[in-house]
């Protein structure tokens, strides 16, 4: 049986009728059309579906959408402010941290959660913060560099 739920996503309210079994990931991608959040393992082991729930990084593939009532959800589509990219988005582009792009949205959101909590992390803190986000292309080198560059205000 579907439930009526209002979800607050990237500052906008969405009123939806959804089955309780639907994960937040499925609702974002299929019901709302926000396909920037990626489905990779669907079992909580890769971090590609990371979104922010009240500013904290969570896995949308293991989160029931009905349980997100009243919480602020931030996806990769919500990072740009007007025409201005989030500093992490610019830094990932400028420092070559993008390859295939499947880990990118989750990676940027994990990094954002870190920098919001701790603006000047050490390299090991950066690595810990993204250690739940698998990447097969980059060896994480340029990703870590891009995050540290933002923390240094570059």
Interface residues for other proteins in 75-94 (CB under 8 A)?
Answer: 75-77, 79-80, 85, 89, 92-94
Over the window 3 to 32, marking each residue x when it contacts other proteins by CB under 8 A and - when it does not, the resulting string is x---------------xxxxx--x--xx--
Q: How far is the CB of 152 from other proteins (least distance, A)?
A: 19
Q: In the window 100-119, what residues touch other proteins (CB under 8 A)?
A: 100-105, 108, 110, 113
- Measured CA to CA, the distance from residue 75 to residue 60 in angstroms comes to 10
**Residue whose CB is less far from other proteins, 142 or 151:** 142
> How far is CA 84 from each of CA 2, 23, 78, rounded to the nearest angstrom?
38, 30, 11
Q: How far is the CB of 2 from other proteins (least distance, A)?
A: 10
User: Burial letters for 71-98: b for 16+ Cβ neighbours within 10 Å, e otherwise?
Assistant: bebbbbbbbeeeeeebbbbebbeebebb
Q: Which residue, among 119, 87, 106, has the nearest Cα to 37 in the 3D structure?
A: 106
Q: In the window 41-60, what residues touch other proteins (CB under 8 A)?
A: 41-48, 50, 56-59
């Amino acid at each position: 049986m579907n439930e009526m739920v209002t979800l607050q996503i990237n500052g906008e309210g969405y009123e939806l009728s959804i089955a309780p079994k639907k994960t937040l990931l499925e609702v974002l991608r299929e019901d709302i059309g926000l396909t920037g959040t990626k489905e990779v393992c669907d079992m909580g082991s890769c971090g590609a579906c990371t979104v922010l729930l009240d500013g904290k990084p969570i896995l949308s593939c293991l989160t029931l959408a009905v349980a997100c009532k009243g919480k602020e959800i931030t996806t990769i589509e919500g990072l740009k402010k007007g025409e201005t990219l989030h500093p992490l988005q610019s830094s990932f582009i400028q420092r070559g941290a993008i390859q295939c792009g499947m880990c990118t949205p989750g990676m940027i959101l994990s990094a954002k959660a870190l920098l919001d909590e701790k603006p000047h992390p050490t390299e090991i803190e950066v690595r810990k913060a993204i250690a739940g986000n698998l990447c097969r292309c980059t060896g994480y080198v340029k990703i870590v560099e891009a995050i540290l560059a933002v923390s240094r205000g570059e």
